[in-house]
Amino acid sequence: MGKCLGLVSLESVWADIILLLPALLFLIFLISRVQSSVRKLVHSKSHIMGTYYSFLWIIAILNLCWCVLQIRQAKPHQQATAWNVMSLVTRFGMVLLEVSVVVFLSQGYLISGWDALLRTLLFSGVFAALDAIVKAVYIFGLGIPLLVNEDDGGDWRKWGFWLVHTLLFIGVYLLILILPYTKWRDHLPARPSFYRYVFILFVLNSITALGSFLLGLGADFGHCIYAFTSFAYYAFYPPLLYMTFLADFFREEDLQMEDVYYSEMKDAGYFDADWE
């Protein structure tokens, strides 16, 4: 259990180094592409892509700082407050992006609609802020930290919270995965990458819920499951977001983005009925 626990505890330097590497590599990737990316954004004049690209940079930097802060902690209890604050800020940004991408793409918008972007960011910002406030009350008000301790198995105050939290996201992602098979299919985005994104987050949250449930029951193996999902989320969510929302935009040099979306809709079979 100790090796599993190390991925989500303050004491394991090796676990933090493992967590640091993906964040560092992704930031290096962004730096290596910054010149061509900015040139494409300036040429396209897309406020939406520019906004999400800027947010992705902020999250990548915060994620790296969060990892570095863990590694530098010689005495965890002296910097536990700083780590909790950094965790809340980083998670706020990631939740904002996670929710806004789902809300924005679910509405069927492509690369235009400044008002649509503002409404989406307002809704996502309020949701992420409420999420962060509840967690802050839980940590600083109730004295129950987000950090995993060896003796916290069976603590339903903590793991019950995380179970309910993940079940909420599971319900939303499951609904999105079911809707394409209903009469509302034509109102949903046709991009296969969007549904892969939703499916990956659905699976990740489902595994997290299982780990939280096992820890609530006092099962030590739950630490391994929770450690894996915690590592996977912080290490790979920013690259997942880039591949889902931004990669096609920056990769496409000659065609307009409308043609890219049309191609993906055609691959998804949305125009088959036109030939019948």
Tens digit of each residue's pLDDT (9 = 90 or more) over 95-104: 998 888 888 7
pLDDT of residue 151: 66
Candidates 185, 192, 177; CA nearest to 264 is 192
| Cα–Cα distance for residue pair 257/264, rounded to 1 Å | 11
- pLDDT tens-digit map of 169-192: 999 999 989 988 888 777 676 677
Phi, psi of 144 (to 5 degrees): -110, 105
pLDDT in tens, 109-128: 444 567 777 888 889 999 99
pTM of the predicted model, to two decimals?
0.80
Cα(250)–Cα(276) distance, rounded to whole angstroms? 35
Q: Which residues contact 121 (CB under 8 A, 6 or more apart)?
A: 51, 96, 100
- Domains located in the chain, CATH noted: 2-257 (1.20.1070)
Are residues 73 and 147 in contact, defined by beta-carbon separation less than 8 angstroms? no
Q: Which amino acid is at 6?
A: G
Task: Please report the pLDDT score of residue 16 as a whole number.
Answer: 67
Stretches where the chain sits below pLDDT 70 are 1-16, 70-79, 107-113, 146-151, 187, 189-190, 252-276
The whole-number pLDDT of residue 211 equals 93
pLDDT of residue 14: 67
Helix (H, G, I), strand (E, B) or coil at 46: coil
Distance of alpha carbon 114 from the chain centroid: 23
